[in-house]
Structure formats: C-alpha cells, structure tokens
Amino acid sequence: MPKILLVDDERALVKGLKLSFEREGYLIATAHTGPEALQRVEDEKPDLVVLDIMLPELDGLEVCKRIRQSSTIPIIMLTARSEDIDKILGLEMGADDYLTKPFNTRELLARVKAHLRRLEWNSPEQQQCTEAGALVIDHLKRRVTVHGKEADLTAKEFDILATLAANPGRVYTRENLLETIWGYKYFGDVRNVDVHVRRLREKIEPNPAEPEYVMTRWGMGYYFREH
C-alpha cells in the first residue's frame, strides 16, 4: 500500500487531503514545516511527497532540493501563487510536477496515481539494457551510467530517457511525452518537459549545448539519436 507524505502549513487543508487519500486506500504521513518534512522523509520512507512551496522555517524549494540529494521519489509541488517562476524553480529543484492552489482534490489524486503507476513502469520492449556509445540504460534496475559512472537521474528524467531510447529516431512531441511519462493530459503546459529534458542533458551529455543522445527536432519535439 503506497505511503504519501503531505506537507503544508495549512492544517485544515492537510486534514481534508488526508481523509480523501485514506479513502483511496493510501497510507498518509503529514508535516507542517520544512524541517519536519525532511524528518518524515527519513523516518517514514514515503513513496511520494506532496509539498507546499510556502512553508515555515524552511521553504518547500529547499526541502525539495535536500530530498533530491538522497532520493528520487516523486515530488508534486503546491504553490498558492500562479507566477511561472515558482513553477520553474520547483522543477529546477527536482520536482516532478506542480499544482497551483486552489486545486481540485480529484485532480491531485489523479496525478498521484499517475506518478505512482510510473514507478512500476518498464520500457515498452521490456529489454534489460540499452547501450548507446558510453551511455548504458538498465531498464530493470532503473539505472543509467555514462563512461561507467552512474548518472543521478530523477524518476521522470529516467522515464523520458528510457522512453526515447526504446524507439531511437522516433520524434516525440512534448504533448506525447506529457501523456506517456506523466500519464494524463497536462493542459498544454509543455515547459515541464523542457525543464526535465534540460536537466537530463546536464547529467548525461558530455556537452549539453551540443547533445549526443537526446536530440531536438526543432518545431516538433525530442528524439534519441541512433548510435
């Protein structure tokens, strides 16, 4: 049974979300401050974190950054503001997704379910490994190495790479990747894909400005170059 960590200083909101998630069969842990959230991650080992940006003592962006130093669990950021900078900063810190308050609880539940389903995902061909030059993708262990050194990818970064590598040369539009990787319609916000691809390139490409693996087909989308 998946365990979800809900982090928000609005206690009434957390209480309501906790009841809704428990009705869906999830185990729930809660936190109301940044330091408390980090402690819960260490103690509870949740499968997914729903994390508000505006937290006392330590904001959600810093909490996300610190979680990413030791874990690839999915993180969905919540923000009370609609400014693009908040969303982009959350993705830059390693968040997988975000929702702007106020939001529909059913939508949050749908996104949580989609992210948890992705944790069980294997490549379409079910191959064990893909090798391309110095890059090796172990699909079963969800592990990527470049020149023998492990690349510390988040779950979404791995899924993007594995999806593209499963069909070298095939161009995936940003909308294709949103549906395939995130598992639901994303209302046209393709910046999520662009940020994740940029971070992926920084981790696997010798020169991210001139990629060798994850390529861009301008005006269309992304593809994995055949080696």
For residue 30, being part of any structural domain is answered with yes
pLDDT score of 184: 65
* CA distance linking residue 122 with residue 120, whole number of Å: 7
User: The domain containing residue 144 runs over which residues?
Assistant: 129-224
In a domain, 192, yes or no: yes
CATH number of 22's domain: 3.40.50.2300
132-160 residue pLDDT tens:
989 999 987 889 999 999 999 988 899 99
Q: Which residues contact 134 (CB under 8 A, 6 or more apart)?
A: 146, 147
Residue 124 domain-assigned (yes or no): no
Is residue 132 within 8 Å of residue 165, measured between CB atoms?
yes
b/e per residue 20-59 (b: at least 16 CB within 10 A): ebeeeebebbbbbebebbbebbeebebbbbbbbbbbeeee
Please state the pTM of the whole predicted model: 0.70
In a domain, 123, yes or no: no
Reported as a single tens digit per residue, the pLDDT across 167-206 is 899 999 998 888 888 876 655 477 889 999 999 999 999 9
More confident residue, 18 or 139: 18
Residue-wise burial string across 215-224, b where 16 or more C-beta atoms lie within 10 A, e elsewhere: beeeeebbbb
Checking DSSP bridges between strand 149-151 and strand 143-146, what pairing results, if any? antiparallel
Number of domains in the chain: 2
